Amino acid sequence: DQQVKQNSPSLSVQEGRISILNCDYTNSMFDYFLWYKKYPAEGPTFLISISSIKDKNEDGRFTVFLNKSAKHLSLHIVPSQPGDSAVYFCAATSPGATSGSRLTFGEGTQLTVNP
């Protein structure tokens, strides 16, 4: 049962343009969402998060949007840079649950930013 799903295995954009990565979830108990970036041979690196009480959170070039009714979130990167090329994982959790904030990850989207 894939509770967090990233339907696009890959995305290719031109440098300077916007990258939009999408994520859907099914578990209504999730109330905190995160995006991680992963380079080959490294662990995931935290990028940005959003609580379910918000619908948008922005940090520099990165903005995460949350649509709770659609159980959908997206990560926007503007402008995209070649160094952004990596695998991006969407993750969800329920901090208040007895599960102790374990993260449930999507499958990942490989972003390639072309110069």
Partner 1 sequence: DTGVSQDPRHKITKRGQNVTFRCDPISEHNRLYWYRQTLGQGPEFLTYFQNEAQLEKSRLLSDRFSAERPKGSFSTLEIQRTEQGDSAMYLCASHRETQYFGPGTRLLVL
Residues near 100 by beta carbon (within 8 Å), at least 6 away in sequence: none
Stretch that binds partner 1, among 10-18, 56-64, 67-75, 99-107 (CB under 8 A): 99-107
Q: Do residues 113 and 61 make contact, with C-beta atoms less than 8 angstroms apart?
A: no
12 residue type, one letter: S
Residues near partner 1 (CB under 8 A), total: 24
Residues near 61 by beta carbon (within 8 Å), at least 6 away in sequence: 77, 78, 79, 81
Given 73, 106, 111, 113, the residue binding partner 1 (CB under 8 A)? 106
Stretch that binds partner 1, among 12-20, 40-48, 50-58, 69-77 (CB under 8 A): 40-48
Residues in contact with partner 1 by CB under 8 A are: 4, 9, 34, 36, 41-46, 49, 89, 91, 98-108
